Amino acid sequence: MLHTVNKSSFERNSLQSCINIIDDNSVILLIEDGVISCTNNANSEMIAGLAEDGRVYALQGDVDARGISSKVADNIKLVDYAEFVDLVVEHGTPVSWV
Amino acid sequence: MYLNRKSSYGTVYAIESLEVVLIAAAFDQDVSLAFIDDGVFQIVNGQNTDGIGMKNFSKTFHALGDYDINKLYVSKESLDERGLNEDDIMPLVYEDEDDDWAEKPSVKVVSNAELSLIMSEQDVCLSF
Amino acid sequence: MKFSIQINEGPYQHQASDTAYQFAKAAIEKGHEIFRVFFYHDGVNNASNFTVPPQDDRNVVKLWAELKQSDGSDIDKVVCVAAALRRGMLDESEAGKNSIEGHNIHPSFRISGLGQLIEAGIQSDRLVVFGD
């Protein structure tokens, strides 16, 4: 499954709640303020393991907009909107952690 | 599946998501509701809104059983984190037509692991 | 594939509508069909005919109004009637029914019931929710 998280882990618990529930085949796409969670920060441990497994994506446009392009953590896969669409096609209707 | 993660009254999401669920009942779909994080507060028993001048719509949850909506999953971890337990949840029931109309609980407290499995089986997940 | 989109937030206050728009545009460019865009909660405000954003910024309502399918046909953009009425978003018909002078739904959107959202979930291959 695909899960989208649109809030920073510093603002909301959405990312942690998502991680608590997703199964071993799920992937996470960070969008909007959610991309704040893809940098190296105090909460990085939350997704480090998943990122290492290639299961964390972040929307490039949102990363660039927030000026954090140079701070994206290792293994986070940056995608554009077209690839966002592809992820939805591939993984099915997403769960949006709004 | 209808994913509820926010409590009632502070924002409109809880009541408006319930309105969608009631409409969905008319479409003969296999409907589940999931209450995670602060969403568990939506079905806490004993809500009284007299003091805030807002409509107490929690009673509407009791009607879900009449519309064959009887799969209300509540995250145990979310309850525990918030100092709640199963006894704090509204006693929502439905009548099982396959079991001589026996009254059964609609609410199922499940672990996050179980919720994960349930979620993976859904065709559509609406979040509010 | 057939995509439907649910938008839970109004323009400018949250990024939801912007992200949804970019997603819809990308899906169309990839040859997918947008079955329906359903505006719920404060999302109904994306249909306001009266927004006047700054000239140097995007006009969210206009972007949605002008977005077309890959064959140039219109996209079905539905505003939930219950959510709309609650928030003072009315088309001419609802204004008349409620004896209210004036109406404010942009003509490229239509007001309808929650059944349209349920139908979108049933008829589409994918339904994506954008919110807060």
Q: What is the DSSP string of C34-61?
A: EEEEEE-GGGGGGGBTT----TTS--HH
Please answer whether residues C114 and C80 qualify as being in contact, where contact means their C-beta atoms are separated by less than 8 angstroms.
yes
Average pLDDT of every residue of chain A: 96
Q: What is the mean pLDDT of residues B103-128?
A: 96
d(CA C122, CA C107): 26
For this complex, say whether ipTM is above 0.90: yes
- Computed from CA positions of residues C85, C89, C95, C99, in that sequence, does the dihedral angle turn out positive or negative? positive
Please report which confidence band the pLDDT of residue B26 belongs to, taking 50, 70 and 90 as the band edges. Answer: confident
Residue A32 has pLDDT above 90, yes or no: yes
Across chain C, which distance is largest between two alpha carbons, in Å? 45
Among residues C80, C81, C83, C89, the one annotated as catalytic is: C80
Which phi and psi (to 5°) does residue A79 adopt? -130, 155
Q: Which of A21, A94, A97 sits opposite B116 (nearest CB)?
A: A21
Per-residue pLDDT tens digits for C45-81 = 999 999 999 999 999 999 999 999 999 999 999 999 9
Residue C42 has pLDDT above 90, yes or no: yes
Please report which confidence band the pLDDT of residue C109 belongs to, taking 50, 70 and 90 as the band edges. Answer: very high
Residue A79 has pLDDT above 90, yes or no: yes
Q: What is the dihedral of CA A98, B4, B7, B10, to 10 degrees?
A: 50
d(CA C12, CA C59): 9
Judge: B116–A97 Cβ closer than 8 Å, yes or no. no
Domains: count for chain B? 1
**Closest CA of chain B from A60, distance in Å:** 24
Judge: B119–A94 Cβ closer than 8 Å, yes or no. no
Q: Which chains touch A (3 or more CB pairs under 8 A)?
A: B, C
Judge: A32–C19 Cβ closer than 8 Å, yes or no. yes
C80 noted as active-site residue = yes
What CA–CA distances, in Å, run from C122 to B11, B23, B79, C4, C79? 28, 13, 32, 10, 18
Please report which confidence band the pLDDT of residue B20 belongs to, taking 50, 70 and 90 as the band edges. Answer: very high
Does the domain at residues A2-97 carry the CATH identifier 3.40.1260.10?
A: yes
- Residue in chain A lying closest to C2 (CA): A89
Q: In the prediction, which pLDDT does B25 show?
A: 87
Chain A and chain C share a number of CB contacts under 8 A equal to 54
Q: In the prediction, which pLDDT does A18 show?
A: 97
Q: What does chain B look like in DSSP terms, one character per residue?
A: -EEE-S-TTTSSHHHHHHHHHHHHGGGT----EEE-GGGGGGGBS----GGGT---GGGGGGGGGGGT---EEEEHHHHHHTT--GGGB---EEEEGGGTTEEEE-EEEE-HHHHHHHHHT-S--EE-
Which phi and psi (to 5°) does residue B126 adopt? -100, 130
Pairing, β C126-130 against β C2-7? parallel
Share above pLDDT 90 across residues of chain B, in percent, rounded to a whole number: 94
d(CA B104, CA B95): 6
Task: Supply the CATH number for residue B102's domain.
Answer: 3.40.1260.10
Q: What is the mean pLDDT of residues A69-78?
A: 94
Please report which confidence band the pLDDT of residue A63 belongs to, taking 50, 70 and 90 as the band edges. Answer: very high
Residue B28 has pLDDT above 90, yes or no: no
Domains: count for chain C? 1
Structural domain boundaries enclosing C45: 2-130
| C121–chain B Cβ distance below 8 A for any pair | yes
Q: What is the mean pLDDT of residues C12-24?
A: 97
Structural domain boundaries enclosing B122: 2-127
Task: Supply the CATH number for residue C17's domain.
Answer: 3.40.1260.10
Share above pLDDT 90 across residues of chain A, in percent, rounded to a whole number: 95
Please report which confidence band the pLDDT of residue B94 belongs to, taking 50, 70 and 90 as the band edges. Answer: very high
Q: What is the mean pLDDT of residues B79-93?
A: 95
- The H or E element that residue A16 is part of is helix A14-21
Q: What is the mean pLDDT of residues C96-114?
A: 97
| C16–chain A Cβ distance below 8 A for any pair | yes
Average pLDDT of every residue of chain C: 97
- What are the strands of the beta sheet with C77-80, ordered from one edge? C110-112, C77-80, C33-39, C2-7, C126-130
Residue B47 has pLDDT above 90, yes or no: yes
Pairing, β C33-39 against β B107-110? unpaired
- Computed from CA positions of residues C106, C107, C108, C114, in that sequence, does the dihedral angle turn out positive or negative? positive
| C127–chain A Cβ distance below 8 A for any pair | yes
